[in-house]
Amino acid sequence: MATLAGLAVAPLSCTQWTTSGRRQGTARFGIVTDSHYADSDTVGSRYYRHSLDKMNECVELMNEKKVNFLIELGDFKDQDNPPIEQKTITYLRTVEKVFQKFNGSTYHVLGNHDIDSISKDQFLINVENTKIDREKSYYSFDSNGVHFVILDANYKSDGTEYNHGNFDWTDANIPPAEINWLRRDLAAARGPVIVFIHQLLDGTGSVYVNNAAAIRQILEKSSKVRAVFQGHHHEGNYSYIEGIHYYTLKAMVEGPGDENNSYAIVEILPDQSITVTGYRKAVSKQLDPAIVKV
C-alpha cells in the first residue's frame, strides 16, 4: 500500500495522548461511502473493479490508526447490466470480505444501489453490523460516550421498501414507523449524537430525502445531534443548519487508482468539537461545537 497522509487539520491543544496513540476521551471512527463494487466494466467516471483495492487500502489505514469502528455510508456494491441476482450477491460478499479485515466493529448504512437486484433482507444477511440484529436496516449504538444513529431512507413515497430494483433513486423517504423510532431513540440517548444516512438531509432535490425538512426538525428539537454524515452525492458537500453539521463524503468509486480513493477518520473530542481527517480525495474539516439555544 502506498504511504498515506491526511490533509492538514487545525491543531488540537490541551488534550493528552494515551500509549495507544489515541487522544484521551475521544470517539474515533472511520467512514467510507459509495464503493459501488462490482466485477464490471467502467461506466463514465465509475471504476467499479478498482473499489476492491481502494477498500483494502482504507481498511489497512483504519487498522493502522486503531479507530473504534468503521462504517460505510451506503452503495456498498453494484450490479451488472443486465443484473443477475446471484452475481450481485457475490459482489456484496466479495467487498464485505475485504471490509471485515478491519480489526474492530463494523457497520453499514443502506444505499439505493444496495437494493438494486436484491432485497434488503438479502443485503443484511450478507453483512455484519456488530451486535445489531441482522433484520434491522435502521438502528443505533453507543461508543466512547457518543450515541450513533443509522437511518434508512430507502422507501418510496407510498411507504413501500425499495426491493430488487423496484425504486426511484430520486424518491427517498423516511417512513412514519422509522420517524417514531427516531424520536424515541433520541429521547433516550445520553450524551452527544451522530447520525449516519445515505441520501442527504440538508436540502431539497434529487439527491435529498423527500421529507428531509421534517427529519431535520426532529434532530434539531432533540438538542443532542452534533453532526450528520452522508454519502450518495459523489462529489461531496458540507452545510451547517441550526447547530448541526452535515458532512457529505466523496465517493470511493469515482476515478481510477489509489489516487482517486476517498475515506476519512472522524474524531469527537470531550468539548464536542469534531475533526474530520480526509485521505486521498476526501476533504478534511474542523467542525466546531454549536452554541445550543434553549
Using the structure block, give the residue that is written with the C-alpha cell 450528520: 228
Give a three-class secondary structure readout of the chain.
CCCCCCCCCCCCCCCCECCCCCECCCEEEEEECCCCECCCCCECCECCCCHHHHHHHHHHHHHHHCCCEEEECCCCECCCCCCCHHHHHHHHHHHHHHHCCCCCEEEECCCHHHHCCCCHHHHHCCCCCCCCCCCCCCEEEEECCEEEEECCCCECCCCCECECCECCCCCCCCCHHHHHHHHHHHHHCCCCEEEECCCECCCCCCCECCCHHHHHHHHHHHCCEEEEEECCCCCCEEEEECCEEEEECCCCCECCCHHHCEEEEEEECCCCCEEEEEEECCCCEEECCCCCCC
pTM over 0.75: yes
Q: How many residues does the chain have?
A: 294
What are the distances in angstroms from CA 182 to CA 8, 54, 96, 225? 35, 33, 27, 12
Q: Which domains does the chain have, with CATH numbers?
A: 27-287 (3.60.21.10)
Q: How many angstroms separate the CA atoms of 215 and 219, rounded?
A: 6
Which pLDDT tens digit goes with each residue over 191-201?
Answer: 899 999 999 99
What are the distances in angstroms from CA 224 to CA 151, 227, 230? 16, 9, 18
For each of the chain's 294 residues, which pLDDT tens digit applies?
Answer: 343 433 333 322 223 323 344 455 689 999 999 999 999 999 999 999 999 999 999 999 999 999 999 999 999 999 999 999 999 999 999 999 999 999 999 999 999 999 999 999 999 999 999 999 999 999 999 999 999 999 999 999 999 999 998 888 899 999 999 999 999 999 999 989 999 999 999 999 999 999 999 999 999 999 999 999 999 999 999 999 999 999 999 999 999 999 999 999 999 999 989 999 999 999 999 999 874 432
